[in-house]
Structure 1
Amino acid sequence: MSKPFAAVAITKHGVEMARALVDQFPGTDLYYMSKFARGDEAERGYELFEGSVKLILPDLFKRYSGIILFISLGAVVRMIAPILEDKKTDPAVVVIDDRGEHAISVLSGHLGGANELTREVAQVIGARPVITTASDVQKTIPVDLFGRSFGWEIESFDKATPVSASVVNEERVAVVQEAGETNWWTYDRPIPDHIKVYASGKEAAEAGFDAALVVTDRLLAPEEERVLLHNGVLYRPKTLVLGIGCNRGTAAEEIEQVIAETMADLQLSVKSVRNIATIDLKKDEQGLLDVCRKYKWRMDIYTPEQLNTVPLPNPSEKVFQYTGAYGVSDPAAKLSSGADSWLLEKKKSGNVTISIARVTPEARRNA
């Protein structure tokens, strides 16, 4: 896949609109029937096909994250039905009618991004976007997209459907938020009365609720899981920074083990780690690079001079002798997170030193 989207047309008018679309909508490959060839397809990188479009759809489903079809809705439904697999993996599908009057979100509206793709395509071609997802129509919380723009990760997805039903049916919904961005309500109206925000699960349980959206970087105790997640979805915001120092040549496995054990001891979720922070001497440390690559964490790098701007309760002359900084993990965690204190001051384990800090709202905005 060279581009994220594919546009497909099978009629004369569809080809006209599809060619116009790809000129204005970057990241879109174009496919249409060879009988409408104009002779410039090879030069422009357009793909021609023979026979039924149904034959190429399975391949397009695997290669693209979004498919824009200039084909009738009924035909599209019949053709894609046999190749659907899972809402978490199926691509976004948008259908455009032959006059370009309507752009219709057909498949993977939320997780696949079809609703947003529909709006964008409609704007380009001057069509009316047609979106039927209840949460979009009612302008309320889309459970499967909640916090996605901030990078939040859904840990428990099995109750997403009944929780979504509670949201759109205006049942009592508790948003239990212990961490993460708080500016998640983006509609031009107040939060509906049936959605209440609580600072803790205990507060929500005392008030009573029918469904819960739980946003925390903490590991929940079994009783908390029973109460909050019997009809709830758990979200992991990216709120934690791991300051890491290590000896040269430390294996990724040792670094990963220290991180896992430390997080478990503190009852914090590894899924809420935003990034690792360290000294510039470690920017090529293979073990650290491998861990970051595995978990898709970025690595924030600081010079000794930058690290030395952070006051430390226990500056180390030994560390200064080797690095030029009086500490690595502690000041790196503070600088990256913007925090005034640590959740964990430096702890040495084998070849690894680790510190943990929680990202401040200001640091999240500037990330």
Structure 2
Amino acid sequence: MIRILSMNTDSKIALITVTKKAKELAKVIKLKLGAGDIYTTSKLCEKGTIEISPSLSEMTGELFKQYDTLIFIMATGIVVRMIAPYLQDKFKDPAILVIDEEAKNVISLLSGHIGGANQMTHKLSSLLDANPVITTSTDVNSKAALDNIAKSIDGYIEHFRETVKDINYRLVHEGKIGLYQEEDYRLDTRGFTLLDSLENLEALEKVIYITHKKRIDSPSDKIIKLIPRNLVIGIGCRKDTNKQLLEDSVNHFLEHYNIDTHAIKCLASIDVKAHEKAIIKLAEKLELPFEIVSRAEIEKIEHLFEKSEFVKKNIGVYSVAEPVAYLLSGGNLWIKKHKYQGITFAIGRIKL
């Protein structure tokens, strides 16, 4: 399978050390995680490690730009001083963890929810048989956090910062927050009131509604939409399709099925369309990856879908939109082929 502009889902991890013992622990962590770049001083640098240069402070600034997770194996005080000049906010900062060189404690220092520091802290603590140190309010009060839920389904919430802050505050202070989901997502819902419908909401302060829908039926102003980003749009089209026609067609398609554009994970097509300007332009406008599936991959499963001799003659396979959506969603075709003027769409839904 060929992919163009594919989404990077691999977490980039840096392990920062300044003592020999810490460096050896970093090697153990890298082995257990199966990932990570080890940074250490010039005196301790060896094959498989990267030299800290020109200084720990300046290197920290560079690591903030390059990595999703920074694991410092040293004293917390040093780490606080090093990261202070580079902090922005929890929506941009990488996850910061601190581990003592005896591996007794793993501390989630920064970006516990959005950055994933809390999750990594639990994982490392388990791997090292260490004590996890987590201080975020929702966690210490054994409550789920809205930002964690959103992250687990790559979800979109309008006014994200303000909404997350408000909902998490209410949860910590025993507020009644409802949660209604149209699918069975595997979520941490501690502290939420789970709902079977969007009726009888009087006793609730707010309701989180997990949905792909652009429009919802309920008139209640308590409802906050959380849109999971897990839909793949498979596209088939004629060569040199008009850009505006493709854009208008996909808008009509999404409107017809009442799908919010924030629910789209990527656009996708066959390798023959890798340079189709209309699809590339649409992906750029929607700020989405454009992924490509090879004809060889499609040939393996095209018998599952409606065949077109015209498509076979011109492209080499019997169909495009459905098999592409099927393959990139892990075999879960959600909406079958929908035809426009020389354009076809289908949607696959990635299971979360």
Asked if the contact 1:174/1:204 (under 8 Å) is kept, the reply is no
CA distance in 1: counterparts of 2:218 and 2:229, whole angstroms: 24
Cα separation, 1, equivalents of 2:308 and 2:26: 64
Distance 1:134 1:55 in 2: 32
Aligned to 2:197: 199
Distance 2:300 2:22 in 1: 61
Task: Tell me which of 176, 182, 207 is aligned to 1:212.
Answer: 207
Deviations 1:88-111 (A, max 9, x none): 110110011243311100001111
Q: Which residue type is aligned with residue 221 of structure 2?
A: V
Q: Which amino acid aligns with 1:296?
A: P
Unaligned runs of 5+ in 1: none
Letter in 1 for 2:338: K
Q: Does 1:111 align with 2:114?
A: yes
SS at 1:346 equivalent: strand
Residues 242 and 132 (structure 1 numbering): CA distance in 2 closer, same or farther, change over 3 Å?
same
Q: Quick check: 1:249–1:285 contact (8 Å CA) kept in 2?
A: no
- CA separation in 2, counterparts of 1:176 and 1:273? 20
- Aligned partners of 1:66 and 1:94: how far apart in 2? 8
Q: How many residue pairs align between the two structures? A: 334
Tell me if the contact between 1:68 and 1:94 (Cα under 8 Å) persists in the aligned partners.
Answer: yes
State the identity as a percent. 25
2:351 corresponds to which residue? 364
Structure 1 residues 221 and 76 mapped into 2: Cα distance closer, same or farther (>3 Å)?
A: same
Scaled by the length of structure 1, what TM-score is found?
0.73
- How far is the alpha carbon of 1:247 from its aligned partner? 1.0
Counterpart contact for 1:88–1:112, Cα < 8 Å = yes
Q: Which position in structure 1 is the counterpart of 2:79?
A: 76
TM-score (norm 2): 0.75
Asked if 1:353 corresponds to 2:338, the answer is no
The answer on whether the counterparts of 1:32 and 1:49 sit within 8 Å (CA) in structure 2 is no
- The alignment status of 1:159 with 2:163, answered yes or no, reads yes
1:172 and 1:211 in contact (8 A); partners too = yes
Query: Equivalences for 1:188-267 in 2 at 5 Å?
Result: 195-200=193-198, 203=199, 205=201, 207-220=202-215, 224=219, 227-229=221-223, 232=224, 234-238=225-229, 240=231, 242-250=233-241, 254-264=245-255, 266-267=257-258
Structure 2 gap ranges (5+): 1-9
For the residues of structure 1 that align with 2:16 and 2:326, how far apart are their CA atoms?
A: 50
- Partner residue in 1 for 2:259: 268
Letter in 2 for 1:64: Y
Paired residues for 1:1-367 under 5 Å: 4-11=12-19, 13-34=21-42, 37-38=43-44, 41-49=45-53, 53-157=56-160, 158-178=162-182, 181-185=183-187, 195-200=193-198, 203=199, 205=201, 207-220=202-215, 224=219, 227-229=221-223, 232=224, 234-238=225-229, 240=231, 242-250=233-241, 254-264=245-255, 266-274=257-265, 276=267, 282=272, 284=274, 286-287=276-277, 290=280, 291=282, 294-296=287-289, 298=291, 309-310=304-305, 337-339=332-334, 346-349=338-341, 351-354=342-345, 356=346, 359=349, 364=351
Residue 288 of structure 1 and its aligned partner are, at CA, apart by 6.8
User: Rg: which structure is higher?
Assistant: 1
Q: 1:228 to 1:122 in 2, by over 3 A?
A: same
Structure with more contact order per residue of length (Cα contacts < 8 Å, sep ≥ 6)? 2
1:168 shift after superposition: 2.7
